[in-house]
Amino acid sequence: GENVEQHPSTLSVQEGDSAVIKCTYSDSASNYFPWYKQELGKRPQLIIDIRSNVGEKKDQRIAVTLNKTAKHFSLHITETQPEDSAVYFCAASKNSGGSNYKLTFGKGTLLTVNP
């Protein structure tokens, strides 16, 4: 089955700095890579995703890059703010016949943004 490794497990940055979280996956057939944010005491929510037909995707201060050859993908957060403090999970999945997905998650990164 798929195996997703995520690093670092904790990350502390100063407000305004950038943060980068990296993930690697094992199954070369995986083609969907979402990122979820979980604030303290709340449910995980999707913040951005990328599919294997593109190398980069941006949404305001967050971006995700994908290197299919190396089987790794990264989340980049620029101009970090205290409200970015949360646990971030990467995930990988392949979809069979364009239909169903089964996500395998990384172990998470606790991001702390210090004011």
Partner 1 sequence: DVKVTQSSRYLVKRTGEKVFLECVQDMDHENMFWYRQDPGLGLRLIYFSYDVKMKEKGDIPEGYSVSREKKERFSLILESASTNQTSMYLCASSETNTGELFFGEGSRLTVL
Binding stretches for partner 1 (CB under 8 A) = 1, 6, 9, 32, 34, 36, 42-46, 49, 89, 93, 95, 98-108
Q: Cβ 105 to partner 1, closest distance in Å?
A: 4
Q: Cβ 70 to partner 1, closest distance in Å?
A: 22
Spell out the residues 6+ positions from residue 59 whose beta carbon is closer than 8 angstroms to its own. Answer: 47, 48
Nearer to partner 1, 34 or 80 (CB): 34
The residues that bridge with 15 in the sheet, in sequence order, are none
Q: Cβ 37 to partner 1, closest distance in Å?
A: 11
Number of H helices, E strands in the chain: 0, 13
Q: Cβ 78 to partner 1, closest distance in Å?
A: 24
Nearer to partner 1, 49 or 78 (CB): 49
Nearer to partner 1, 17 or 59 (CB): 59
Half-sphere CA count of 21, side-chain side, radius 13 A: 31
Asked whether the CA dihedral 61, 18, 9, 95 is positive or negative, the reply is positive
The SS3 assignment for 84 reads helix
